[in-house]
Amino acid sequence: MTHLHRGRPILAAAASIVALGALTPLVYLALRSFEGGVGKASTLLFRRRTLDLALRTAALTSAVAIACLILGVLAAWVVTRTDLPGRRFFAVALCAPLAIPSYVSGYVWIAEFPSLAGFFGAALVLSMSCFPLVMLPVAAAFAAADPGRAEVSRTLGRGALRTALTVELRHVTPSAAAGVLLASLYTISDFGAVALMRYDAFTLGIYSAYRGGLDRTAASILGLVLVLMALVLTLAERRTRRGATARIGSGSPRPAEPVELRRWTLPALLMVSALLATAVAVPILGLVRWLVRSFRFTIDWVDVIDTTLATLRYSALAALAVVILALPVALYAARSTSPVARAAELSTYIAHGLPGITVGLAVVFIGIRLLPSIYQTATLLVLAYVVLFLPLAVGSTRAAIHASPVVLEDVSRTLGNTRTRTDIRVTLPIAVPGIAAGGALVFLTVAKELPATLLLRPRGVDTLATELWSTTQVFKYGEAAPYAFALIIVSAVPTFVLDRAIRRRGERSIRKENL
Amino acid sequence: MGRVHRLALLSISATVAVGLVACSSSPEESDSGAQSSEATAESVVVYSGRDEDLVDPLISRIGGNIEVDYSGNTNAQAAKILEEGDASPADVFYGQDAGALGALDEAGALAPLPQDILELVPEQYRGADGTWVATSARARVLAYNSDIVTASDLPTGIDGLLDPRWRGQIGYAPTNASFQAFVTALRVQRGEDGARQWLDGFLANEPVAFEGNGPLMTAVNDGQVATGLTNHYYWYPFKAENGDAAPIELHYFAPGDPGALVNVAGAGVLATSTNQEAAQDFVRELLSAESQAYFADETAEYPVIDGVTSSYDLPPLADLGASDIDLGQLASLEQTQALLTEVGMI
């Protein structure tokens, strides 16, 4: 059932403003692409190399998307819907890869297994970095699912597995698709993994063009192609949402009984352990080797703590800003079928497919001209994070709102509440797990973000990522290791919040007094 | 109020609290657009394309009111200055190679330096228009793994690298500014066609491209590739980090070969700087005997003024270098870019 919210001018305006802000990098790219004339632009665009890069990027993205879909959904189901021993530990630990920058895990993998260089290595590192992007929203959806249907299915004689495959999977499809989209956009925009694995993808071409010279036209043209790819991916994800149903049934959500794994316990344990080993243990062991091998091993604890606090601050501020700004877009997209709503949501995804250096330079270009008073301050940096990472919150928030029963909103409206009041008192509380998941994703991604942070940070401020960069630039791997470890520890903060949000067992009843 | 609300509030307030606690605990950053001109009228803002670990001790030594921006490597910093345009907060650009300095000069971004600064260094270490000076020098080298190859097998010039025996065994960093300066030198010496010919031959030998000199050094040391084109001074800290047992060693090409290029790091004052005199003082400081000794002893680079020696066992600068290359000619970075793009290297 589609639910039209006609005439929500305030919501529409808020969503549109956020969307326009998210599109600013496009303005910059267009300016830079065509400043040398259309002839130069088309020469650069229709090079053999552009096609090569596009095909190689598409191949890598497909591989990572498929791997993340399978691993993410499986892991989410096992840690939220079964009686797996230690599932809470796994739920938290499996988020850690999000905090390990691809330039660190890539470095460790290539150092330990040089033969991985190329497509396979890049696909491996990116899949291990990205599967939590699928796992988190899917876990939230499993946790928020109404067990009623699954119970009906079981009563009708289907086994737990068949029920999971039919009823439950259908319920998490939108979340899974949203997660796969994020993983795909991460893949087309990531530089660290492809650079270290020496896989010649788009970002490598873009960085080469920027770093190799001062001609920003070539880099911008490639950026526009990436925008196109991001658009195609986002539209593809949208198609998967067709046929997704909103909950209209009566009855309040309550936690489902966990599936008993019985003889599947050991295989399931082996699976999540293997995943954990590949995604987290290998990079950590590699870092330990950095420490042990280094002849210049000193830890400046004060600096590590200062830097960690700065990282926490930026990540928290960015998470808060992104979550708040994502709300109108997500709400509008989930509850309206108007073209404006669709366009607004789509807009927030575009910049996410661009490498950080492109968005960073766009913010430099626009920021110093339009907002000189906040140039090179934390405020502008957080705004850049918003542009880069909006979809991380938009997707999971929209999916969560979408999965909450419309009937409750109808009741609330019938009882005389305004739309805004209904949003705040009814819709958003139900979507809290999704909103929290989005915020946590932003937090983790900001903590490890490097290129935009380098370009835009206030002078004299270091984050864990920039320290990691500057120490490894001069081979001080021993000195770099504590910052990398701190980054992994920092990731525990949002994952803890997330875990609480996902597992509010028996606390999800929506009380009548809220209506 | 339901538990749902409590949880929502709890998580949001926790996030805010973390944010506020972190905010209040970092006095080093004022968030008020602190670089507005009147607040920091006397501080010199340096945009450095060189590493923080390398530059910071130097800045402490020089003292005074200097703020350094480390937003990335030399080319990224130059790009940032150009994107900032007239409003750039930068007073000084301190970069890793002559190419980026020359390119900024050609874009009209640098102001002429006073004669007394220019005269501190030999003529070959100045920008053609007197808008920048070199502050230290470094040589291009071929790093090699001594467990795999012996020094006597290594070629005396870059043409020897086209020999099929080196197929898949040469590492290089095509986006690195120093590598590109070498390609510019190649173009200057042999013309576009000559340079293209060498690059095509080099690519036909399946060299292995690296993201930067760090991964390249590591790969040579681990034996992933037998050799790698890099700069001489990377080797010293690498040995310090990995111990003397590390098999990586350096090979210098014969003088006059494009592969024996001596490139420089250098500094210039921005034309848009509202603080020209203090900016010039900073450039002067980079050329003081103390600063030059720092380069020689800490970064294993060559000093550019007379009378400074290094604690490292560096081969004399006079014995190296493609002596017939004028650093001012390294400014044609854009053509180098175009050529590298054309042959498919970047």
| Residue pLDDT, tens place only, B24-62 | 434 344 433 344 444 445 799 999 999 888 899 999 999
User: For residue A151, what pLDDT is reported?
Assistant: 76
B38 touches chain A (CB under 8 A): no
- Least reliable range by pLDDT among A69-83, B3-17, B161-175: B3-17
CA–CA min distance B42, chain A (Å): 16
- Cβ within 8 Å, pair A214-B83: no
- Cβ within 8 Å, pair A213-B8: no
CA–CA min distance A259, chain B (Å): 25
- Euclidean distance between CA atoms B224 and A113, whole angstroms: 10
Please state, for a pLDDT cut of 90, what percent of chain A lies above it. Answer: 41
A317 touches chain B (CB under 8 A): yes
Residue A375 has pLDDT above 70, yes or no: yes
User: For residue B16, what pLDDT is reported?
Assistant: 46
B interface test, pick of A383, A449, A474 with most B CB neighbours within 10 Å: A474
User: For residue A271, what pLDDT is reported?
Assistant: 93
Calculate the CA dihedral of residues A449, A453, A455, A461 and round it to 10 degrees.
-150
Domain B139-260 has CATH 3.40.190.10: yes
Residue B3 has pLDDT above 80, yes or no: no
- Least reliable range by pLDDT among A145-154, B129-138, B174-183, B264-273: A145-154
CA–CA min distance A155, chain B (Å): 30
User: For residue A100, what pLDDT is reported?
Assistant: 86
Enumerate residues 361 to 380 of chain A having a beta carbon within 8 A of any beta carbon in chain B.
361, 364-365, 368-369, 372-379
Nearest to A347 by CA among A20, A6, A10: A20
Of B88, B209, B222, the CB nearest to A198: B209
pTM higher than the cut 0.75 = yes
Residue A194 has pLDDT above 70, yes or no: yes
Alpha-carbon separation of residue B253 from B35, B140, B249 (angstroms): 46, 8, 13
Tens digits of residue pLDDT in B291-313:
999 998 888 999 988 888 888 87
Three-class SS state of A353: helix
**What's the mean per-residue pLDDT of chain A?**
84
Tens digits of residue pLDDT in A385-424:
999 999 999 987 887 787 677 888 888 888 888 888 888 8
- Maximum average pLDDT range among A201-215, A499-513, B262-276: B262-276
Residue B18 has pLDDT above 60, yes or no: no
**B279 pLDDT tier (thresholds 50, 70, 90):** very high
User: For residue B321, what pLDDT is reported?
Assistant: 61
B4 touches chain A (CB under 8 A): yes
Token digits of residue B269:
């004052």
- Cβ within 8 Å, pair A114-B234: no
Backbone conformation region of residue B108, classed left if phi is above 0, alpha if psi is from -120 to 50, else beta: left
User: For residue B33, what pLDDT is reported?
Assistant: 39
Q: Tokens 């796994």 map to which residue? A: A90
- Cβ within 8 Å, pair A470-B53: yes
- Euclidean distance between CA atoms A327 and A439, whole angstroms: 11
B244 touches chain A (CB under 8 A): no
Residues in A touching B14 (Cβ below 8 Å): 497
Residue A229 has pLDDT above 80, yes or no: yes
- Euclidean distance between CA atoms A329 and A11, whole angstroms: 8
Determine how many CB atoms are found less than 10 A away from the CB of residue B47: 26
- Least reliable range by pLDDT among A194-208, B152-166, B307-321: B307-321
Q: What is the CA radius of gyration of chain B?
A: 23
Cβ-based burial of B290 (10 A; exposed 0-12, middle 13-18, buried ≥19): exposed
- Cβ within 8 Å, pair A213-B180: yes
Residues in B touching A492 (Cβ below 8 Å): none
- Cβ within 8 Å, pair A211-B75: yes
Higher pLDDT, A130 or A504: A130
User: For residue B346, what pLDDT is reported?
Assistant: 73
Backbone conformation region of residue A86, classed left if phi is above 0, alpha if psi is from -120 to 50, else beta: left
Residues in A touching B100 (Cβ below 8 Å): 214
Higher pLDDT, A476 or A295: A476
B interface test, pick of A104, A292, A302, A313 with most B CB neighbours within 10 Å: A313
- Cβ within 8 Å, pair A210-B75: yes
B239 touches chain A (CB under 8 A): no
Of B22, B52, B234, the CB nearest to A312: B22
Say if CB A481 and CB A438 are below 8 A apart.
no
Token digits of residue A425:
């008192």
Task: Output the CATH code of domain A2-513.
Answer: 1.10.3720.10
User: For residue A488, what pLDDT is reported?
Assistant: 84
- Cβ within 8 Å, pair B28-A364: no
User: For residue A399, what pLDDT is reported?
Assistant: 77
User: For residue B316, what pLDDT is reported?
Assistant: 75
Phi first, then psi, for residue A56 (nearest 5°) are: -65, -40
Tens digits of residue pLDDT in A432-472:
877 887 898 899 899 999 989 999 999 888 999 998 888 87
- Cβ within 8 Å, pair B73-A374: no
A interface test, pick of B67, B70, B210, B343 with most A CB neighbours within 10 Å: B70
Task: Tell me how many degrees the CA angle A342-A345-A349 measures, rounded to the nearest 5.
Answer: 130
The CATH architecture that domain B3-137+262-320 belongs to is: 3-Layer(aba) Sandwich (3.40)
- Euclidean distance between CA atoms A477 and A471, whole angstroms: 7
Which is it for the CA torsion A278, A284, A290, A292, positive or negative? negative
Nearest to A124 by CA among A278, A233, A355, A274: A278
**What's the mean per-residue pLDDT of chain B?**
84
Find the residue in A nearest to B69 (Cα). Answer: A459
For chain A, domain boundaries? 2-513
Say if CB B73 and CB A208 are below 8 A apart.
no
- Euclidean distance between CA atoms A337 and A12, whole angstroms: 12
Amino acid (one-letter) located at B346: I
Of A110, A376, A493, the CB nearest to B89: A376
Say if CB A75 and CB A98 are below 8 A apart.
no
**B122 pLDDT tier (thresholds 50, 70, 90):** confident
Determine how many CB atoms are found less than 10 A away from the CB of residue A48: 8
Tens digits of residue pLDDT in A56-72:
999 999 999 999 999 99
**B256 pLDDT tier (thresholds 50, 70, 90):** confident
Nearest to B94 by CA among B343, B269, B252: B269
Please state, for a pLDDT cut of 70, what percent of chain A lies above it. Answer: 89
Mean pLDDT score, B67-80: 88
Mean pLDDT score, A67-94: 91
Say if CB A440 and CB A493 are below 8 A apart.
no
Determine how many CB atoms are found less than 10 A away from the CB of residue A255: 17
A181 touches chain B (CB under 8 A): no
User: For residue A321, what pLDDT is reported?
Assistant: 97
**A149 pLDDT tier (thresholds 50, 70, 90):** confident
Token digits of residue B204:
């036909």
Residues in B touching A49 (Cβ below 8 Å): 341, 344
- Cβ within 8 Å, pair A198-B210: yes
Q: Tokens 């670089």 map to which residue? A: B35
Residue A511 has pLDDT above 50, yes or no: no
- Euclidean distance between CA atoms A288 and A154, whole angstroms: 48
User: For residue B38, what pLDDT is reported?
Assistant: 42
Tens digits of residue pLDDT in A88-100:
889 888 988 887 8
B9 touches chain A (CB under 8 A): no
Find the residue in B nearest to A104 (Cα). Answer: B215
Residues carrying CATH 3.40.190.10, chain B: 3-137+262-320, 139-260
**A296 pLDDT tier (thresholds 50, 70, 90):** low
Contacts of A31 (CB under 8 A, 6+ apart): none
Residues in A touching B215 (Cβ below 8 Å): 107, 110, 196
Mean pLDDT score, A212-233: 86
- Least reliable range by pLDDT among A249-263, A275-289, A336-350, B74-88: A249-263
Find the residue in B nearest to A373 (Cα). Answer: B33
Determine how many CB atoms are found less than 10 A away from the CB of residue A259: 21
CA–CA min distance B153, chain A (Å): 25
Find the residue in A nearest to B56 (Cα). Answer: A460
Enumerate residues 153 to 182 of chain B having a beta carbon within 8 A of any beta carbon in chain A.
174-175, 177, 180
Residue A14 has pLDDT above 90, yes or no: yes
**A208 pLDDT tier (thresholds 50, 70, 90):** confident
- Euclidean distance between CA atoms A217 and A210, whole angstroms: 9
User: For residue B36, what pLDDT is reported?
Assistant: 42
Contacts of B171 (CB under 8 A, 6+ apart): B207, B208, B209, B210, B216, B219, B220, B224, B225, B227, B228, B229
Of B16, B211, B240, the CB nearest to A295: B240
A316 touches chain B (CB under 8 A): yes
User: For residue A276, what pLDDT is reported?
Assistant: 94
Q: Tokens 């650069």 map to which residue? A: A44
User: For residue A412, what pLDDT is reported?
Assistant: 85
Residue B14 has pLDDT above 60, yes or no: no
Residues in A touching B219 (Cβ below 8 Å): 114
- Cβ within 8 Å, pair B51-A474: yes
Of B15, B36, B175, the CB nearest to A319: B15
Residue B7 has pLDDT above 50, yes or no: no
Mean pLDDT score, A114-126: 91
- Cβ within 8 Å, pair A49-B107: no
Give the DSSP per-residue string, B100-146. HHHHHHHTT-EEPPPHHHHTTS-GGGB-TTSSEEEEEEEEEEEEEET
Token digits of residue A393:
């919150």
Indicate the pairing of strand B227-231 with strand B132-145: antiparallel
Residues in B touching A461 (Cβ below 8 Å): 26, 28-29
Find the residue in A nearest to B99 (Cα). Answer: A213
- Least reliable range by pLDDT among A153-167, A192-206, A226-240: A153-167
CA–CA min distance A492, chain B (Å): 13
Cβ-based burial of A45 (10 A; exposed 0-12, middle 13-18, buried ≥19): middle
CA–CA min distance A254, chain B (Å): 13
Higher pLDDT, A144 or A167: A167
A118 touches chain B (CB under 8 A): no
